[in-house]
Chains A and B, each alone.
Chain A
Amino acid sequence: MITGNFYTDASLVILFLPLLGFVINILFGKKLPRQGDWISISAILTTLVLALILFAIMLKNWDYKFSHEVIMPWIDMGAFKIELGFWVDNITIVMLLVVALISSMTHIFSLEYMKGDIRYNRYYAYLGLFTFSMNGIVLANNLMSLYIFWELVGVSSYLLIGHWFEKNSAADASKKAFLTNRVGDIGFFIGIMLMFTAIGSFNFQDVFAGVSDGEIKGNLLTLAGLGLFMGAVGKSSQFPLHIWLPDAMEGPTPVSALMHAATMVAAGVYLTVRLFPIFTPDALVTIAYVGGFTAIFAATIAITQNDIKKVLAYSTVSQLGYMILAVGVGNYTAAFFHLLTHAMFKACLFYGSGSVIHAMHHSLHNLHDHDTDPQDMRNMGGFHKKMPITSTTMTLATLAIAGVPLFSGFLSKDAILAGTLYFVDQNPQHMILAFFGFGAAAITAFYMFRLIFLTFHGEPKMPKVFEGIHESPSLMTAPLVILAALSTYIFYTLPINLIPWKDYGWFTKLIKAKDSVVAGTPSAKEIYDGVHYMHDLALVLSLTVASIGIGLSFLMYYRSTISSKSWAKRFGTFYRLSLNKYYFDEIYNRVFYQPFLKFCNIVAIIDWDLYDKYFINGFGHVTKLLSKVTGQVDYDGLDQTLVDGVGRSAGGLGKGLKNIQTGRLQNYMLFALIGVIIILIVQYSVIL
């Protein structure tokens, strides 16, 4: 069509079709039948079909080295040029499919979930904008267009989190999400500038070539890498910028599933995966620590949360930490693998929670109860009987996230843990990373089953509400079933392997790690072999920690043989810290926002009330004062004394001389005579 190459043409259609949907819906959506949702849905389903075709072609070609690039000039001022373009390889194709799939599911799920919403057309429009920007990130072949779409993803997230902006909490959350992301983007942009300054190009391939040629190296390269990583920290909600993601749950639940679980937050991971070859060992260690710490840190918060979406949110933060950890330890294909599997099961979990909340909402609505929180798990319980499909699919996804064999999460998590073990084995001083990894795995299994048990099992906590609970309509359960099916291992190991604890499959064959271009880093093969070597140990360990987590959860929340309350009391301090998210929001508020705002107020006061009023206007006042003084000198000194003085003295003289004016002619004559005599004397004396 445009470029004459099927991959890029298809990618361009995939990219721009949702944008078209956005434009049509935002401009005319209100006037269209059904508020134009069919436009968005047909657009996204077309992209899904195209993505599937691309995926099928990828499987047919079976070429892990496949790549295709299109470059278009964007800015050209002579020496300064920016070229934008697309890069299509297997990672791109897989990501396109993930985005198209989850986005399609969200579109379909929302048909029911958002029915009757006051800004229905805008909701669909923004979904289109998001899909467009996310695909843009996926397809970008250079840092500049990556950054551009990165920001656009941020803004669509802002718009969707703030969809119900009448709620102050939603408005706050949307702003917080955008600004927290921007903090990361500062680092991202600094990284971009460092790279461009050193290499003179934004293109990934040029950057890799430049780094491997040593055009940028040492600490500067570490710094550039960490700068770029900061973007990922913001977008993927890593510690210490993790604060926005849980709040982002103020958005509609399908949006949480699409953006704040499966795709947008994975963009950070995608970025680190794409740029893996340029990270120096120092940068990688930092990345590993950030990821590992986030994984366990967020998991410990998730334990005590009661809001079903908050649990999932912290679980997402924790899982993203896992992926970042995998990048940090060098096993970045595992990170991408986990991104893929996580997208499926986490989206499933979010839709499940959406289904539950939807049911709760309707039940509460019928009871005219507007005070009970429909998202609080303490108001649920025993829903399995009423919502079997939701319950079953969510349980399957939970098994996947907990890392139970036969499920996708097992494969990817295992790969990450194996990579971590290998890294720790090579660098024993970073032993704690392994504890982060396995600890988080155990805790994840624990709190996810806590969620399942509290929601779907046990006695209903609010029997009246329970009466009104119904399974959600099929448009909502269909995505659940599809994603739950995709959470099983089989979709990732086909067509080579059916053994549930071996991860060989199309993924491992088609997505191969690239060597780092930084000197002194282990090659991809070394890592691959090491991971392979550690695989069995990791498998045993991860199974053990997962069963401990699940077992503990089972005993505590299903059998209630262990009282969760007494445990909470026993670990009182920790419980309170966890429940309050370690007071991070409060600390940031006290340490950053409030002081900064106060400082801004002071600056504004200095600027307006002091500097301007006194200094600048001071010039005016001084001038006025000076003019007053000069005025006085002028009037009193010059005019009154000197000028008028002349007049006055003339007057005085006149007064004196008036006396001579006798009116007697004789006197005048006498004066004339005297004058003549004086003249004569003077002349005579002069002559003499």
Chain B
Amino acid sequence: MSNILSWIIWLPVIGMLVISLIPRNNSKIIKQIAAITSGIQLLLATYLWQVFDSSIGEMQFMERVEWIPSFNITYILGVDGLSLPMVLLMALIGFIGIFVSWNIDKAVKGYFSLFLLLNTGVMGVFLALDFFLFYIFWEVMLLPMYFLIGMWGGPQREYAAIKFFLYTLAGSVLMLIAILALYFTCGNTFDMLVLMETAPVALNGMLWWGMSAIKVIWVLLFIGFAIKVPVFPFHTWLPLAHVEAPTAISVILAGVLLKLGVYGILRINYTMLPDGVFWFAGALALLGLINVIWGAMCALAQKDLKKLVAYSSVNHMGYTLLGMSAVIAASGMNGSNLISAQAGVGGAVFQMFNHGTISAMLFILVGVIYDRAHHRDIEGFGGLASQMPVYTAFVAIAFFAGLGLPGFSGFVSEAMIFIGAFPVFRTIVIISTLGILLNAAYFLWAFQRMFFGPANEKYNDLPEINSRELFTVIPLAVITLFLGVYPRPFLDLVSSTLNLLIESVVTIGGYAGNL
């Protein structure tokens, strides 16, 4: 399988074409085809993981096909230690998402077609190594999302969908400008691997309207990605989109789509504009801090469970930013500083993955109770623990994982982030450790209000979580627990690539030094 990456990307489209041939009332077959397609994709991704050589930090399984030669646009794919975990995550969450949406009964054909198209878009973003291709996949992903929220969402779905779409599109436009700027300044190429070599040299010292070109491009790209992360103050589309989106879409949105932003910053900003990293790291850490605290405080005040979980995403993604900022510790590449850079960046990537599994779990569980009680008002429950003990146990696992309890993977990544960022941004990290408390506060408070206390008579005959739902939650819980106890498999997978990334940032970023 020499073009396994293409298979992974385009398989959902094949599934989508097959679905389009099926009459619209055969909803069961449509669902089965979607599940089989995602299943095969998951198997392919797992196979890729097995044959992937984690000791190599560079791109592997590269594919390169001429596409539009007159503009130097090429179809380039490749996978490394940074994208592989994300591919695995998307394959897993995509597969689980099909089963989460098993109960969809409105326009099933359209839903699953769009769902698979979304899968292709996300996979494409993670695997594309040509900037033009990257941008196309970025937009491909946006479109199905718009329809999935706008047609299958909650009461305010049109508003949420249009807001999500416009907000993200605004970011994409800035990104497009930055892409074109890089294209024209760095030798008319969209090839990311080439740009990584040429951009730092070509942009060095270049001024645009009296501003450093590196800074301008960095900020344009950053805003484009920050909207996706979402970084404060670009975060308000997220709670709305989450609250209105159907469960499976929230799961994909929180589980994978938010990672695209961080992935983009690491893949593009960090490699092509290493000088900008040094310039922006402080702001990155500060934004991370604000995300952590602001997200937690907003979560604490929520009455809607799904909104609480959405704000918890804002909070958790803040840790990622904080960890990423630690990369500048390694300048000079001497021993102890390299430790914190590795801990920080490794923690950030690990946190991305962990947030993927944990928040997916949280949203699935929110969906489970919403399907039964038809509301998500935290105050409206109470005493569910005695009525739905198994469900309670899984919510407890998800909540404890979310609040960073040791034994769950979230703890390892958060600890790594703190340890990594601490030597560089001491005050910021000390303030952000408040997150340790606030995370626990909002999760436990919500847990108490929903599950503890006298049982609410109204919910005496709520059915317990069923086996389909358990099937969607258990794999995520197992992964979270396993990586919490033994994080080696993940960290070994990413460490060579990240070490290479850190090295390139600090060695190339040394050039201009001070912008």
Contacts and interface: CB of A to CB of B under 8 A. Distances in A.
A179 B437 contact: yes
Interface in A577-624: 597, 599-601, 603-605, 607-608, 611-612, 616-617, 620
Given A77-B491, A608-B236, A616-B236, A597 B343 contact: no
Given A79-B342, A193-B429, A603 B298 contact: yes
Interface in B420-464: 420, 422-423, 429-430, 433-434, 436-437, 440-441, 444-445, 448, 451-455
Given A186-B436, A197-B423, A168 B454 contact: yes
A480 to B, nearest CB: 32
A200 B339 contact: yes
B422 A604 contact: no
Contacts of A504: none
Q: Residue among B167, B302, B386, B415 with the most chain A CB within 10 A?
A: B415
B513 interface: no
Contact of B342 (A77, A172, A197, A607): A77
B335 interface: yes
Contacts of A498: none
B297 A599 contact: yes
B487 interface: yes
Given A77-B343, A80-B346, A166-B383, A611 B233 contact: yes
B514 interface: no
A77 B346 contact: yes
A172 B448 contact: yes
A603 B441 contact: no
A603 B232 CA distance: 13
Given A179-B444, A197-B423, A599-B297, A189 B407 contact: no
Nearest to B400: A155
Contacts of A170: 452
Nearest to B421: A193
A612 to B, nearest CB: 4
A235 to B, nearest CB: 14
Contacts of A75: 412, 416, 487-488, 491
A193 B406 contact: no
Interface string A272-298: 000000000000000000000000000
Contacts of A172: 448
Of B430, B455, B492, which is in contact with the most chain A CB atoms at under 10 Å from its CB? Answer: B430
A74 B489 CA distance: 10
Contacts of B422: 193-194, 196-197
Given A80-B346, A151-B406, A155-B405, A165 B451 contact: yes
Interface in A146-165: 147-149, 151-152, 155, 158, 162, 165
Nearest to A30: B389
Contact of B301 (A174, A190, A601): A601
Given A171-B452, A200-B336, A182 B440 contact: yes
B406 A171 contact: no
B147 interface: no
Contact of B444 (A147, A168, A175, A605): A175
B298 to A, nearest CB: 5
Interface in B472-505: 486-488, 491-492, 495, 498-499
A37 interface: no
A167 B383 CA distance: 10
B298 A600 contact: yes
B94 to A, nearest CB: 28
A610 to B, nearest CB: 10
B342 A186 contact: no
Contacts of B454: 166, 168
Given A78-B495, A190-B430, A608 B346 contact: no
A557 interface: no
Interface in B74-116: none
A611 B487 contact: no
Interface in A179-197: 179, 182-183, 185-186, 189-190, 192-194, 196-197
A603 B297 contact: yes
Interface in A237-295: none
Interface string B199-215: 00000000000000000
A560 B62 CA distance: 91
Contact of B498 (A77, A158, A190): A77
A147 B415 CA distance: 10
A152 B405 CA distance: 7
Contact of B385 (A76, A158, A165): A165
Contact of B343 (A80, A168, A183, A601): A80
Interface of A: 74-80, 118, 144, 147-149, 151-152, 155, 158, 162, 165-168, 170-172, 174-175, 178-179, 182-183, 185-186, 189-190, 192-194, 196-197, 200, 597, 599-601, 603-605, 607-608, 611-612, 616-617, 620
13 contacts: A78-B338, A79-B342, A148-B406, A151-B405, A155-B400, A165-B385, A168-B454, A182-B440, A189-B433, A600-B298, A607-B298, A611-B233, A616-B167
Interface of B: 163, 166-167, 233, 236-237, 239-240, 294, 297-298, 300-302, 335-336, 338-340, 342-343, 346, 383, 385-386, 400, 405-407, 411-412, 415-416, 418-420, 422-423, 429-430, 433-434, 436-437, 440-441, 444-445, 448, 451-455, 486-488, 491-492, 495, 498-499
Given A118-B386, A604-B301, 12 more contacts: A75-B416, A75-B491, A79-B335, A79-B338, A79-B342, A80-B340, A179-B437, A179-B444, A182-B436, A193-B429, A604-B302, A612-B236
- Report the 10 A-B pairs with minimum CB-CB distance, sorted nearest first: A171-B452, A604-B301, A612-B236, A148-B406, A80-B342, A165-B452, A79-B338, A77-B495, A193-B422, A600-B300
